[in-house]
Every structure is written in structure tokens, then in C-alpha cells.
A and B are shown apart, each in its own frame.
Chain A
Amino acid sequence: DAGVIQSPRHEVTEMGQEVTLRCKPISGHDYLFWYRQTMMRGLELLIYFNNNVPIDDSGMPEDRFSAKMPNASFSTLKIQPSEPRDSAVYFCASSNRDRVLPQYFGPGTRLLVL
């Protein structure tokens, strides 16, 4: 298995632009998580899905952030409009229904908003 795949790996954009981050979870995993990591705030859970349905989006910073999971093999995290404070590394992770199994992380997308 290729593991969790994220794209792009790096994104540089200007304030006000729309940013779309993509994630392909490990095949057979039914949980998908989006995290944001910064030096100041550490690793924060933004939203997670179970069987393509959003379960907890309480970590989504504000309405500028939205996430979708149209099918079991694809998810997007969109920021519109982007702001400099959104600069961070965004990770996607997946796991399966057994709560004792770990989460498998993708390599992350490093986002810089100028």
C-alpha cells in the first residue's frame, strides 16, 4: 500500500486566494482526519470523517475552511479566502473502525500564504 497520499506537498499563495488540499486515505480505512501543525499551536485536529460523513468539525477555525469527502478514497480541505495566519503544515491521516488501531499520517502539505 502506498500509504496516505497528500497533494500538493508545498503550496505558496497570496492572501485572498483559494487553496485546495487533497488527500487519499489508505484503502479500507473508514476514518479520515485533517490536522494543522504550527509552532505556536502544535498539532490541531480540524475535522474528521467516518464513512465519508463529517463527525466532528469543532476544530475548523472559521467559515473560510471547509472539508469534503465525496467518496471513500478522496477528501479535500479548502481555504477561501486564505490569510497569512493560515500558513502551516496540514496533515491528513486515516485509520479503520477498530479504535485501538493507530492513525497513519500522510507527508503533509506545507502551506505558505503571503
Chain B
Amino acid sequence: SQQGEEDPQALSIQEGENATMNCSYKTSINNLQWYRQNSGRGLVHLILIRSNEREKHSGRLRVTLDTSKKSSSLLITASRAADTASYFCATAIAGGTSYGKLTFGQGTILTVHP
């Protein structure tokens, strides 16, 4: 089963509104990352939050991490039509032999209407 699962699967909003996407995971992590994928393109890294951090900001992005609930959220404020894309969370599992490996969720498709 997927280590990371995003919710909702699809989100449709108007330009200027905020968009919130959630990610849940199952095992202990070293860090959690969020990626964006525009249609027909490769994934682009947005932000990384370590397991000992609770919140992180980057421009219009805000990420929170709750390790007790094994969940994270990505908030995009004042959304723009250009934010239309799929958003994926990816987890780096703590310890073991999986050093460097990320496990991706199924993604949230965000549509921002002008």
C-alpha cells in the first residue's frame, strides 16, 4: 500500500482562494517533501520538512507536519491559475536500508479557475 496518501484526490477553487491538501503516511519518517507536477512534465520539488519540524514556509506555501498523527498538510495561499497542477507528498523513511529513497503518494489534482 502507498506510504503517502493525499486528500482530496481533486480540488477545484477560484483564483485568490486558498488551497489545502493533506497527506497521511504509515511509518516513521526522516523528512516529508511536497512536489508539483504540471501536465506532461516531470515533478518539481516545492518544500521539505524534517521530522523534528512542525511548520515551514516558502513564499505562498505553508507546510505543517504532525508526526503523532502521521500527517502533513500543504497550504497554498492566494492561489493563481498557474498553480493548477498535481501535488504529491513524498516520504523519506527513517533508518533501515532505504537511505535516499522517497515513496510518493497518489497526488491531489488542483485546478484554479481564473
Residues of A within 8 A of B (CB): 4, 31, 33, 35, 42-43, 45, 48, 50, 55-56, 91, 93, 95, 97, 99-100, 102-108
Contact = CB atoms under 8 A, between A and B. Distances in A.
B42 A48 contact: no
A102 to B, nearest CB: 4
Given A42-B2, A43-B88, A99 B100 contact: yes
Q: Is the interface of B mostly helix, strand, loop or mixed?
A: strand
A4 B2 CA distance: 26
B25 interface: no
Interface of B: 2, 30-31, 33, 35, 41-45, 48, 50, 88, 92, 97-107
Contacts of B30: 99-100
5 contacts: A45-B101, A45-B102, A50-B99, A56-B98, A103-B43
Contacts of A55: 97, 99-101
A42 B108 CA distance: 11
Contact of B101 (A42, A56, A100, A104): A56
A42 B98 contact: no
Nearest to A43: B104
Contacts of A43: 43, 88, 104, 107
B42 A42 contact: no
Given A42-B104, A43-B88, A43-B104, A99 B99 contact: yes
Given A43-B104, A43-B107, 12 more contacts: A42-B104, A50-B99, A55-B97, A55-B99, A55-B100, A56-B98, A91-B43, A99-B31, A99-B99, A100-B30, A100-B48, A108-B41
B2 A100 contact: no
Counting chain B CB atoms within 10 Å of each CB, the highest count among A43, A105, A108 belongs to: A43
Contacts of B101: 33, 45, 48, 55-56
Nearest to B94: A99
Given A99-B92, A99-B99, A105 B42 contact: yes
Contacts of B105: 42
